[in-house]
Amino acid sequence: MKKVTILLADNDPDFLKARQKILQAEGYEVVLASKPEDAVQILQNDDIALAVVDLRLEDDEDDADMSGLALIRRVAPKIPKILLTGHPTIEVTRRALKGYYDQAPAAVDMLSKSDDPENFLRAVSQALEKHVTHRQRRALWLKISVAILILMVIISFFLVVVLNRGVQEVFITILSALALEIVAALVVRFTLEK
């Protein structure tokens, strides 16, 4: 079974190392980023299953800093995310979980940096379960689409070989157009999901 890769992004190196040890002890592969630029590069180049990102990735003391959420929205909006904050308030949590900042997709969860390791691991596990389920649905949809495409090719072959009449051209045209639509839909769907 392939190891799941988690991005852990925070500007506090001690916190990064501590959480990295916790995740690695559970068998996760962990990639660290201490700056938004590093996180951007990782999200663009690696296959990340979950992003655990500090809400204030640039400046912990700046109340207006929402760089962690902005980063996820801009670079990898479809990756499930857990937001971390050292300054939890009800308003910040509510907005992050509902996706208000920068119209970003909602976070899967929001945790205080001071949360115990068990709560942290539980949140990671739940977020990954949701992500795996989404990937499984996507893979099933792809298999069904391929099966439909193969069936259309078989029907087209049948019409050409067996019927050999003028009506077959109409059916072939319709089936060809349908096949192209399915392929185009697959390309668009999977291009936008990454």
Distance CA 16, CA 4 (A): 18
What is the reported pLDDT for 19? 92
Domain that holds residue 74: 5-115
Whether 40 and 110 share a structural domain: yes
3-state DSSP assignment of residue 32: strand
One DSSP character per residue, 152-194 reads HHHHHHHIIIII-STHHHHHHHHHHHHHHHHHHHHHHHHHHH-
Q: Mean pLDDT in runs of 10 for the chain (194 residues)?
A: 79 90 92 86 84 74 58 71 71 55 55 84 84 66 78 73 64 76 75 58
Look-up of token digits 């539980």: 122
Whether 101 and 176 share a structural domain: no
Q: Give me the CATH number covering residue 10.
A: 3.40.50.2300
Phi and psi dihedrals of 89, rounded to 5? -130, 160
What is the reported pLDDT for 129? 79
What is the reported pLDDT for 18? 92
What is the reported pLDDT for 102? 45
Give a yes or no: residue 155 inside a domain: yes
Whether 85 and 141 share a structural domain: no
Look-up of token digits 């700046």: 62
Whether 17 and 70 share a structural domain: yes
What is the reported pLDDT for 151? 80
Whether 145 and 61 share a structural domain: no
Whether 92 and 14 share a structural domain: yes
Give a yes or no: residue 70 inside a domain: yes
* Count of domains for the chain: 2
Cα 64 off chain centre by: 26
What is the reported pLDDT for 63? 52
The distance between the two most distant Cα atoms of the chain, rounded to a whole number of Å, is 77
